[in-house]
Chain A
Amino acid sequence: MRRSYTARRSTLCAWVGLGAFAIAGSVAHAAPSGWPQDTVALRVPGPLSPRNTSYRMEARLDEKTHEVKGHALLLFRNLERKEASELTFQLYQNAFKHHASTFIREAGPQLRGDEMPEHGYGAIDVSSIKIGGVEQVGKAQISDSLLTLKLDTPVGPGSVIEVDLTFVTKLPRTFARSGYSDDFHAVAQWFPKLAVFECDKSGDRCGFRAHQYHGFTEFFSDHGSYEVTVDVPDSFVVGATGIQVAQQQKDGRKQLTFRADDVRDFSWFADPKFVEYKATISDNFGPVELRVLNRPGLQSLDARHHAAVQSALREGEQRYFSYPYKNVTVIVPPKDSGGAGGMEYPTIITSFLSPLPSGIRTIEGVDAHEFGHQWVPMMVNSDEVLDAWLDEGLNQYFTGQAMDRLYPGGCGTVNLAGFCLGDRDVDWLSARSVYRRMPLSTPSFRLSGRTYGAMTYAYTAQMLRSLENYLGPERMRQAMRHYAERYRFHKPRAADFMAAISESAGEDLSWFWNQAVFSTRTADYEVMTIENHKHELAYGLWDCPPKPATLPQEIDLPENERTEWLRQITESNQAACQGQPAGRHELSPPSEKDKKAASKSKEPQLFDSTLTLRRRGELLYPIDVVVRFEDGSQEQLSWSLAEQSAHPEDRLKIVRFYRRAAIERAEVDPQRKLALDEKRINNGLLAKPSMRPVTRLFLTLAGWVQTALDLIAL
């Protein structure tokens, strides 16, 4: 892994030099600040990625018309072994151009319950595409949010092409991750963005992996170096991907230049009302500058944003690898721009406004989640359209870990008035609501909104928690790290993820993936019944003198209980024959009266107990079982994967005990290792009902009712 990484870096330097030469020769504006080869925005040695799609852009925000006039110089280097005969660009904002777009037809004019505002359309118009100084825009084919341009001269393997683009982006009223409201501008998905050129594994079939902007999926692109100058009115405060490297002012406007290295996107946010909070988060690799651009009057919440990002940063570095960038910015969009909240871009994330009490940890949860995306998919570059669970699901799993770090008590989502809910609880409730629908492997754009959310995020997180509990936390941590390190600044698919985890675990996990990723099998184990019968072995016809007892093979008992059984039969036979002549004698059960006397005596009873476990779901998973007996003794059993796989149609496991104590209770999966378990209350069963908790809940409820009645009398 390390060796191949070094080798790739040496080829990088060669092409980066070439790129720089090309720019110097062809672009008229001022000499760039070392773009795209240096590493000013990194706090670790770079480059970290192939930087095969780099941009230098100028963007002027018209705050009245909410349009961004842009010019981009794109440097694209073909990393494949075949030539690229065309270029495909993503024009994401065209998703909001009219109601016939792929996005609106799939999602309706809404996203996550947020309606698309009236007269809020957006679009990108590309007015010029020049290659080698020759205008090409007339040849461009636009289909919804994709632009394809046939090239006069294909880009050969290892070659670099320079494309000059001029465009105007009309921002929508804030909707689906970007847009404007009043002076707030979320300028994201705003420039013609080159799709990913790739060849299949054989190397024969090559092309751009580009998708329309779908209703429920996000983005995918190559890494590069960005140098972007944004031009805004003087009063505007700007937060952007990367670090600010220059600033100029004239005619009531200012031009801020940002540099970002080894990133897969660039977005920026501008609003004169932003109130800035600055802090430094330090780790083993040095400082990371945190900047929160918050709403006026909400400065008391800055500390919460700070704590959440800090927790996610430390957790991410422990789980994945070091955060290589110098800074991170948190944007808090205004109330009427909630559609731009809860989003991730390289080195910049958007949060939400929360009018809720601090015990409901929305702010922390969103910030930790969005910051977690800095690793997946911002650096571990998975395709958010084809494998949405590889970024949202892995990151949801990570969010739980970051929230645990922040709130070790396990109440990471809600801790209010004595009520506690953790991320695992909320994910579990959400995941089980979408069981029996579609396999996780389904591309997200084939799902409905409701199913997409719960499956991609919560189901994946619960699946990974089930896997973690199977492998153990340390093996799982190593496996996730192995995947992240192997695919940082690479483009893994779902199969790569599963292979990397299996490889690191040193175990074929296909039994797990086949069930949890490629099928709709659900998981639910329960203790179905407990039956305790008092021992009746002593009664019957006995032949005297006693003969050695035998136990038929069909009576299924564990070894120590076989011995007990045989001993008991021998004792019964001896007791029946005591003082009796040879021949057959009957030993009958005592009368009811004698029985009562016997049950009062201190003689320990013998019990023939049967425990029936049931697999209600179709998913097989190794299950621990704890059986507790009335004398306080405990028995640990397991319902192993091998046992279940041998007879996959069998739903019951029947265990018999022959002991001096009856079963008091039994529980399957007591540590809740199977996080995908659909029902948890049925995991345990008591042999006899216990009314204590029922009475307590009843009294509590009656108390609430009484309080309500008392209030009526006010």
Chain B
Amino acid sequence: MQEQLHTKPAPSVSSQGVFSALQKGLGRVQSAPLLIIGLTLASLFVSLMASLPARAVLRDALALRPIAEKIVRGEYDVGFIELLSDNPAGVTAVSSVLVLAIVGFVLFQSLTAGGVLSRLSPTHAARFVPPGQFLVRCAESAMSMLKLELLFGLAVRTPLLLLVAAAAGISVGWSRAAELSFSTIVLRVAPVFLTFFVLWSIASIWQTLARMKRLDDVELSAWQSLRAGLRLFAHRQVILGVLLLAVLSVTAQGGLLIAGRMLVIKLDAKQLVLWAFVLRQGISILKTTISTLIIATTCELADES
């Protein structure tokens, strides 16, 4: 695949199309299996670490209690509520660690973003790094990526979240006043949330573009990178590609989430918790693959335009 890229003359943007970019992106992702596994392991590691305090609380509360088996088997769900209401300190400790873990993971993602992006860029791009240089690139770009992340969080993610919170508030208020059944509410509210997810995904792509610009030109400030990333949207090909990629991302991730939940519930019901956990890792690898595919394709689109 990479071979092909070098030998074939780059076709013009207009004829190439998004699907060709996607194909090339897939090639990039396939050539970086260690990256996918590394990112998946990182999320696994963070989730296990974040859950350790909960394990300690659970051990103190349940290890000597025969009812724990029933709680785990789903035969005594009110036990969860008793557990939570009788261990308020544990619940506070566990939830704060979980929040910290999520914040930490976002930081980790931004710190490694430079390396990931360089690794997934076309080999002819200046920012491309071979696997051996991955960590070096991460370290070089960490600070600038972090600044970009903070600015992006403030300028784009926060307004988006506020927007969806307002939309949710309005739809809840409206459905309370409108006397609707649950199914009608779901049908009417679903498009709002779908739109939000697509917008969120577009924002992620925009962030990738901004990161690219920053990696290409170390003189750019976070704010300039953001604007440069946005300017790329002016290309018809890019905007079309971004839209398609966002829809693809939401559909694939959503589909995986739903399919994964259904499978996990089935395995849980059969008490195959360990298998459910293994399945989760498979799903996680697929999810990481999709995320990296979106990044690689974005690079292709932007570099060609």
Interface residues, chain A, with chain B CB atoms under 8 Å away: 295-298, 300-301, 334-336, 353-358, 418-422, 425, 428-429, 665, 667, 679-686, 689-703, 705-714
Contact = CB atoms under 8 A, between A and B. Distances in A.
Contact of B179 (A353, A689, A695): A353
Contact of A707 (B181, B257, B273): B257
Shortest beta-carbon contacts, A-B, top 7: A693-B68, A689-B63, A425-B78, A705-B47, A706-B47, A684-B66, A702-B51
Contacts of B260: 707
Interface stretch (B159-167, B226-234, B284-292): B284-292
Contacts of B102: 705, 708-709, 712
A419 B82 contact: no
Given A697-B72, A702-B48, A711 B257 contact: yes
A418 B270 CA distance: 13
Given A682-B65, A709-B102, A714 B77 contact: no
A691 B60 CA distance: 10
Contact of B185 (A355, A684, A685, A705): A355
A693 B78 contact: no
Interface in B175-206: 175-185, 197, 200-201, 204
B147 interface: no
Given A681-B86, A699-B277, A713 B288 contact: yes
Nearest to A413: B78
A699 to B, nearest CB: 5
B74 A418 contact: yes
B93 to A, nearest CB: 13
Nearest to B281: A706
A703 B278 CA distance: 10
27 contacts: A295-B179, A297-B179, A298-B179, A300-B183, A335-B177, A336-B177, A357-B182, A422-B78, A425-B81, A429-B85, A681-B65, A681-B86, A682-B65, A684-B65, A686-B66, A689-B63, A690-B68, A693-B62, A694-B58, A702-B50, A706-B43, A706-B47, A709-B101, A710-B257, A710-B283, A710-B287, A714-B197
A367 B166 CA distance: 34
A714 B55 contact: no
A713 B293 CA distance: 12
Interface string B248-286: 011001000100100011001100011011001001100
A682 B67 CA distance: 9
B107 to A, nearest CB: 11
B5 interface: no
A10 B184 CA distance: 57
Give the residue among A686, A705, A707 with the most B Cβ atoms within 10 A.
Answer: A705
B269 A418 contact: yes
Given A429-B81, A685-B66, A710-B253, 13 more contacts: A297-B180, A353-B179, A665-B66, A679-B86, A681-B61, A681-B62, A681-B65, A694-B59, A701-B54, A709-B105, A710-B283, A714-B200, A714-B291
Contact of A686 (B64, B81, B249): B64
Contacts of A708: 102
A706 B102 CA distance: 10
Given A705-B51, A706-B43, A679 B82 contact: yes
A705 B249 CA distance: 20
A685 B176 contact: no
Contact of A712 (B44, B68, B98, B105): B105
A355 B82 contact: no
B109 A694 contact: no
A694 B179 contact: no
Nearest to A336: B177
A710 B288 CA distance: 8
Count chain A CB atoms within 10 A of each CB in B59, B101, B181, B276 and give the residue with the most: B181
B72 to A, nearest CB: 4
Nearest to A705: B47
A689 B64 contact: yes
Given A682-B65, A690-B68, A703 B50 contact: no
Nearest to A688: B64
B293 to A, nearest CB: 12
Nearest to A667: B66
Contact of B51 (A667, A681, A698, A707): A698
Interface in B200-227: 200-201, 204
B154 interface: no
A573 B176 CA distance: 82
A300 B249 CA distance: 36
Contacts of B201: 714
Contacts of A358: 182
Contacts of A711: 253, 257
A624 B78 CA distance: 22
B86 A697 contact: no
B91 interface: no
A706 B74 contact: no
B67 A685 contact: no
A705 B78 contact: no
Interface string B97-121: 0100110011001000000000000
A429 B63 contact: no
B181 A702 contact: no
A301 B109 CA distance: 47
A324 to B, nearest CB: 34
A695 B62 CA distance: 11
Nearest to A666: B66
Nearest to B203: A714
A700 B68 CA distance: 14
Nearest to A414: B77
A94 to B, nearest CB: 31
Nearest to A664: B66
Contacts of A705: 46-47, 50-51, 98, 101-102
A699 B77 contact: no
A306 B65 CA distance: 42
B46 A709 contact: yes
A335 B185 CA distance: 14
Contacts of B66: 665, 667, 684-686
Nearest to B178: A335
Interface in B20-57: 43-44, 46-48, 50-51, 54-55
A706 B44 contact: yes
B182 to A, nearest CB: 5
Contacts of A667: 66
A707 B98 CA distance: 13
B276 to A, nearest CB: 7
B155 interface: no
Contacts of A679: 82, 86
